[in-house]
């Protein structure tokens, strides 16, 4: 098997791909070869650079340096049209389908021939019937897309790529929205495609899928492609270790925590996202005064939805949230008034209003409190005073409360949010990705401030995809996988142990007895 | 950096509006040429008719008063990210409230006693008419643009019914109420101030409109509610996270908007017509949209834009009077062009003017 694979020729070669966004290096000297008639898995944590690499391949981004060869010939891929012309097809994580079109219309969209549809339709129908038979991709061509289950919609995406004569098919986290049986069907289709000589690139963070479905696997970490090997030579454990890597532990000076009473108690929380997919599954845990509980996990395993539900930004399907044994309603205003402060994961989208001056953002959400005026008027002098205090206490630069918030750097914007949420004396602080996109100096400051807050006997819930951060700050670590809390670990747990939990391995092994 | 932003502000608030009006007038000039008339002559009548005499100015400011009410109404909603087209219908229904109060009180009390309940009734009726689209937008996600347009038509039908069947003057064939008595008429400015505005209907409603502009300025920039309105308009998700209710802001904002539009009837009914008649708003709600866009949502800008449209209305009437070949329809075309360029296409030149300004700045030596 292995010999057979290595003898096949490379249908796709990437050499020396580099890509930076500003000062952030997303891909660093990446070399990748994909063989004809194989399923090639790419694994890595969130932010490892998988998606960037695939976006370069599909023409969404241009590499800063490096070459792409298809069938040994160097090609330029300035846009997705060029990618399609070279036989590269992509199935996105979020489908790109027109929901109220029929399946057939979606498939021929952009690939119609001539100005009139009937002839393209006729031709497409014949071709699609052939493809469906060949690859077990049965779909009702006349069905309205939005009425189909997600698994079938995904098949439409695959058909779309095949109809455009894709020979290299990229699937980005294809099983995220699928039920287990739908996922099994998908993998049957992928194997069939491979057997017909197509090449499949499967991007995932689920190690089970890599082990079950791929012939070759590449591991990415921090923008680099650090290993490529036949899947048969790897184990889930060795992959998890490669994925997480051995990293220098962030050093945060902290004394042992002295946890007090349970302050924040979550019982049986279930949350569905807007698509109706259950993202948080029966989550129960509690946070005590004077401790930091960290939620670790690969991004997309329900942490975002958990945090949003706890902050009151979405109404959970079921479950209760108790603060000092009293239930608090799922409303951001009531939560904040009760003493639950929230530093959101995405400060640009929901933490700040970027077009407003710092002065106004520094008190957004607290502006109704009497210190800003007991009449309907909002005291500008008070806004200014609070903003100035934050500027000096948190060393926000430039120290100008009148400046538009969009003109501050990421680290300084984050300090504005932190100052606002911390300085109103909350009982519980929910913090999501506190140092995402934040420079090193600010990271250290933010970490120190969170530890100080803990030592003031506050309860802190920290959600971060940065394992280093979780380990450096937390007194207890809960690991989320697929919407559920799959285990608890101490911050001294090994990378390996945490990595396995994060990859959902422990749970599955138990399940298999 | 600061001076850089200021230049862009100047572009936004002064250069662009002037450019837009200039382009609209330029194209209007071509149209006038096309019908074989002299555009310069037309411009002459436009200016002299609207600003050349006390009476002309009186008419101009009378129109501007109505536009100020509806412009403020549209602007308040726009600060919450709501685009309302409903000021027309709200002003129309507001007029019903005003007329009902006037018809009940005008024979018994002086105008300044009638004014307060009449204005309150106008605001109440206007707000009530805005409430339904507001509720539908806030709770059901029905698009406000569509519902407010539909509500303009419904308002129009209701008013036909009310005027023809319920409050028509007995014995009259015209769909209108009886004339208000003295107690239902507010004084013209010429009657109480030493100004000569001839027969122009400019009246004390002007001060009411100015007060409304000050109110809107205070509301939007000085109050907690205004902060929440601006937050919702600028970033609804962040506002929600800050505990600001989208439903509450949408409904409150539209109630204020409807109330402001409802006040326009004070100017038209109590200040000029002295009765409620069919289709009295005559497009002021739609001009309000253009005025609010051109004034960039700021009361001072809206006031200036209102006067500009007052000039167009009054000056336009003069043109068609003195140049019969330029028909009323042509005047409407010119007004439409100004609405098109100053309202709908108001940011068309923004990018090019910005880059022109940047070019100018780059070519300057660094200070």
Mean pLDDT over all residues of chain B? 91
Question: Are both B229 and B359 inside the same structural domain?
Answer: no
Instruction: Round to whole Å and give the CA distance between B157 and A462.
Output: 59
The pLDDT of B188-217, averaged and rounded, is 94
Q: What is the pLDDT of residue A440?
A: 66
Domain that holds residue B276: 57-324
Distance from CA of A349 to the nearest CA of B (A): 6
Same domain, B244 and B340: no
Asked whether residue B48 is assigned to any structural domain, the reply reads: no
Identity of the residue in B1, B225, B242 whose CB atom sits nearest the CB atom of A364: B242
- Which among B1, B225, B243 is the nearest to A365, CB-wise? B243
Q: What is the ipTM of this complex?
A: 0.85
Lowest mean pLDDT among B72-76, B138-142, B251-255: B138-142
User: The CATH number of the domain where A310 resides is what?
Assistant: 3.40.50.300
From the list B224, B230, B238, which residue is nearest A351 (CB)?
B238
In this prediction, residue A151 has a pLDDT band, given cuts at 50, 70 and 90, of confident
In sequence order, what are the residues at sequence separation of 6 or more whose Cβ sits closer than 8 angstroms to the Cβ of residue B357?
A: B7, B8, B11
| Residue B307, domain member (yes or no) | yes
Position A137 scores a pLDDT of 83
Q: Distance from CA of residue A123 to its chain's centroid?
A: 40
Average pLDDT (B277-283) is: 93
Could you give the maximum distance between any two Cα atoms of chain A, in Å? 80
Same domain, B158 and B206: yes
- pLDDT at position B221 over 90: yes
Question: pLDDT value at position B329?
Answer: 84
Left if phi > 0, otherwise alpha if psi is -120 to 50, otherwise beta: which for B160? Answer: alpha
Domain count, chain A: 2
Q: Is residue A10, in this structure, part of any structural domain at all?
A: yes
Residue B46 lies in a domain: no
Quickly state the pLDDT bin for A246 (edges 50, 70, 90). Answer: low
Q: Is residue A252 part of a domain?
A: no
B365: pLDDT strictly greater than 70: no
Rounded to 10 degrees, what is the CA torsion of A399, A404, A407, A408?
Answer: 40
Q: What's the confidence (pLDDT) of residue A48? A: 79
Option in A354, A356, A377 nearest B222 (CB): A377
Single residue among A244, A271, A302 that ends a domain in this structure: A244
Asked if the structure places residue A336 within a domain, the reply is: yes
B147 within some domain: yes
- B20 and B62, same structural domain? no
Most confident of A199-208, A460-469, B18-27, B258-267: B258-267
Q: Of B91, B88, B59, B54, whose CA–CA distance to B269 is shortest?
A: B91
> Ranked by mean pLDDT, which of A121-130, A298-307, B154-163 comes out on top?
B154-163
**A509: pLDDT confidence band, cut at 50, 70 and 90?**
very low
Looking at the 3D structure of chain B, how many domains does it have? 2
State which of A244, A278, A313 marks the end of a domain.
A244
Statement to judge: residues B296 and B333 lie in one domain = no
Residue of A nearest to B225 (CA): A376
> Does A44 fall in a domain?
yes
Does residue B43 belong to any structural domain of this protein? no
Point out the domain boundary residue: B324, B343, B359.
Answer: B324
Are A239 and A266 within one domain?
no
Mean of the per-residue pLDDT values of chain A: 88
Quote the pLDDT of residue B187: 95
Same domain, B250 and B235: yes
CA distances from A180 to A5, A177, A184, A332, A345 (A): 28, 10, 6, 35, 29
Whether A207 shows a pLDDT value over 90: the answer reads no
* Residue A100 and residue A214 in one domain: yes
Return the pLDDT at A251: 66
| Range in A307-311, A438-442, B351-355 with the lowest mean pLDDT | A438-442
Residue B52 lies in a domain: no
The answer on A218 and A336 residing in a single domain is: no
Q: Are A228 and A268 in a shared domain?
A: no
Distance CA A289, CA B54 (A): 75
Which tens digit of pLDDT belongs to each residue from B312-349? 999 988 988 888 888 878 888 888 888 788 777 777 88
Asked if residue A317 and residue A214 are part of one domain, the reply reads no
Phi/psi at B48 (nearest 5 deg)?
A: -70, -35
pLDDT, tens only, B94-115: 999 999 999 999 999 999 999 9
Task: Quote the pLDDT of residue A40.
Answer: 96
For chain A, the residues whose C-beta falls within 8 A of a C-beta of chain B are 311, 313, 331-337, 342, 344, 349-356, 360, 364-365, 367-368, 372-373, 376-378, 380, 404, 407
Three-state secondary structure of A375-414:
CCECCHHHHHHHHHHHHHHCCCCCCCCCCEHHHCCHHHHH
Q: How confident is the model at residue A1 (pLDDT cuts 50, 70, 90)?
A: very low
Do A188 and A330 belong together in one domain? no
* Chain A residues inside the 8 Å CB shell of B6: none
Same domain, B234 and B349: no
Evaluate whether residue B87 is within a structural domain.
yes
Q: Assess whether A99 and A219 both reside in one domain.
A: yes
For residue B85, pLDDT beyond 70: yes
pLDDT tens digit string along A323-351? 999 999 999 999 999 999 999 998 888 99
If asked whether residues A351 and A318 sit together in one domain, one would say yes
Shared domain check, B276 and B210: yes
To the nearest whole Å, the CA of A351 is away from the closest chain B CA by: 6
Domain ranges, residue A416: 262-511
Quick check: A84 pLDDT over 80?
A: yes
């Amino acid at each position: 098997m292995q010999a057979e694979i290595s003898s096949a020729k490379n249908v796709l070669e990437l050499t020396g791909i580099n890509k930076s966004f500003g000062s952030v290096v997303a891909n660093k000297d990446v070399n990748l070869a994909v063989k004809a008639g194989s399923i090639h898995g790419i694994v890595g944590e969130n932010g490892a650079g998988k998606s960037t690499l695939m976006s370069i391949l599909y023409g969404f981004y241009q590499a800063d340096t490096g070459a792409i060869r298809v069938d040994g010939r160097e090609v330029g891929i300035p846009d997705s049209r060029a990618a399609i012309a070279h036989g590269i097809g992509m199935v996105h994580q979020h489908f790109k389908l027109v929901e109220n079109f029929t399946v057939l219309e979606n498939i021929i969209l952009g690939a119609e021939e001539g100005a009139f549809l009937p002839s393209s339709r006729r031709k497409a129908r014949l071709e699609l019937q052939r493809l469906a038979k060949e690859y077990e991709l049965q779909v009702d061509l006349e069905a309205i897309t939005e009425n189909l289950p997600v698994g079938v919609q995904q098949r439409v995406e695959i058909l779309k790529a095949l109809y455009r004569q894709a020979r290299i098919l990229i699937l980005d986290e294809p099983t995220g929205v699928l039920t287990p049986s739908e996922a099994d069907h998908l993998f049957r289709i992928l194997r069939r495609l491979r057997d017909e000589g197509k090449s499949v690139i499967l991007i995932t963070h689920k190690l089970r899928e890599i082990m079950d479905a791929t012939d070759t696997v590449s591991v990415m970490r921090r923008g680099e492609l650090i290993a490529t090997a036949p899947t048969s030579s790897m184990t889930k454990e060795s992959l998890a270790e490669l994925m997480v890597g051995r990293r220098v532990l962030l050093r945060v000076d902290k004394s042992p925590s002295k946890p007090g009473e349970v302050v924040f108690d979550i019982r049986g929380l279930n949350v569905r996202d807007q698509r109706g997919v259950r993202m948080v599954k029966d989550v129960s845990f509690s946070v005590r005064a004077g401790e930091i509980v960290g939620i670790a996990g690969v991004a997309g395993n329900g942490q975002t939805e958990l945090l949003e539900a706890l902050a009151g930004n979405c109404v959970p399907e079921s479950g209760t949230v108790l603060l000092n044994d009293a239930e608090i309603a799922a409303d951001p205003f009531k939560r904040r008034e009760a003493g639950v402060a929230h530093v959101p994961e995405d400060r640009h989208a929901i933490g700040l209003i970027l077009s407003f001056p710092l002065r106004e953002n520094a008190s957004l959400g607290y502006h109704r409190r009497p210190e800003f005026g007991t009449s309907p008027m909002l005291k500008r002098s008070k806004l200014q005073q609070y903003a100035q205090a934050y500027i000096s206490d948190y060393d926000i630069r430039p120290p100008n409360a009148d400046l538009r918030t969009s003109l501050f750097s990421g680290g300084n914007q984050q300090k504005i949010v932190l100052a606002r949420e911390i300085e109103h004396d909350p009982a519980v602080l929910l913090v999501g990705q506190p140092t995402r996109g934040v420079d090193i100096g600010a990271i250290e400051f933010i970490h120190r401030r969170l530890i100080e807050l803990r030592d003031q006997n506050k309860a802190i819930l920290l959600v971060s995809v940065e394992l280093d951060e979780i380990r450096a700050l937390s007194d207890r670590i809960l690991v989320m996988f697929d919407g559920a809390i799959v285990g608890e670990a101490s911050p001294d747990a090994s990378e390996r142990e945490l990595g396995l939990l994060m990859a959902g391995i422990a749970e599955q092994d138990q399940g298999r007895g | 950096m600061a001076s850089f932003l200021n230049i862009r502000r100047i572009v936004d608030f002064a250069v662009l509006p002037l450019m837009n009006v200039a382009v609209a007038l330029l194209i209007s000039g071509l149209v006038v040429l096309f019908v074989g008339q002299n555009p310069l002559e037309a411009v002459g009548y436009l200016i002299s008719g609207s600003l050349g005499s006390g009476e002309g100015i009186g008419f101009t400011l009378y129109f501007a008063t109505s536009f100020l009410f509806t412009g403020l109404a549209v602007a308040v909603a726009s600060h919450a990210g709501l685009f309302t087209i409903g000021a027309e219908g709200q002003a129309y229904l507001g007029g019903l409230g005003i007329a009902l109060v006037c018809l009940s009180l005008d024979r018994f009390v002086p105008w300044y006693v009638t004014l307060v309940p009449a204005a309150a009734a106008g605001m109440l009726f206007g707000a009530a008419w805005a409430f339904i689209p507001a509720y539908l937008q806030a709770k059901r996600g029905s698009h406000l643009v569509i519902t407010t347009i539909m509500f303009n038509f419904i308002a129009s039908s209701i008013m036909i019914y009310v005027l023809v069947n319920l409050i028509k003057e007995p014995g009259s064939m015209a769909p209108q109420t009886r004339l208000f008595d003295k107690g239902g008429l507010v004084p013209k400015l010429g009657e109480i101030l030493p100004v000569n505005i001839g027969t122009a209907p400019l009246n004390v409603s002007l001060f009411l409109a100015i007060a409304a502009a000050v109110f809107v300025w205070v509301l939007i920039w000085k109050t907690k509610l205004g902060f929440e309105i601006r937050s919702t308009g600028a970033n609804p998700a962040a506002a929600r996270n800050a505990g600001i209710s989208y439903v509450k802001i949408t409904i409150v904002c539209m109630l204020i908007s409807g109330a402001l539009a409802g006040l326009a009837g004070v100017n038209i009914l109590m200040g000029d017509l002295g009765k409620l008649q069919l289709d009295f708003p005559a497009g002021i709600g739609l001009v309000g949209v253009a005025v609010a866009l051109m004034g960039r949502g700021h009361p001072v800008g809206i006031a200036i834009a209102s006067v500009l449209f007052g000039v167009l209305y009054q000056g336009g009437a003069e043109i068609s009077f003195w140049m019969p070949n330029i028909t009323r329809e042509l005047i409407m075309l010119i007004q439409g062009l100004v609405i098109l360029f100053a309202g709908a296409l108001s940011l068309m030149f923004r990018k090019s003017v910005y880059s022109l300004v940047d070019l100018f700045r780059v070519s300057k030596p660094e200070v």
